[in-house]
Amino acid sequence: MLNPTECREMAMQYRREANKAGASPRRASLLRNISHSLSALSHQLEMLADDRLEADQPQTRQ
């Protein structure tokens, strides 16, 4: 399973590939879309990890 850091690194790689000279507009668009998806996945995995931490915390009554 990928972790948030790996997703961000992969997103940067796809973004760099999309920005390379000679990439067709369609290919560049696809690569940018993949980059955006990986960035979103990274954020969602971070939120999931935070949620797990919160769930493991004892509940306090007020």
Distance CA(19)–CA(22), nearest Å, equals: 9
3-state SS, one letter per residue, for 3-46: CHHHHHHHHHHHHHHHHCCCCCHHHHHHHHHHHHHHHHHHHHHH
Report the pLDDT averaged over residues 12-35: 96
Distance CA(39)–CA(6), nearest Å, equals: 10
Tell the residue number behind the tokens 């990890």, with chain if given.
49
Torsion of CA 48, 53, 58, 60, to 10 degrees: -70
What pTM does this model have?
0.81
Report the pLDDT averaged over residues 7-34: 97
Does 59 score more than 80 pLDDT? Answer: no
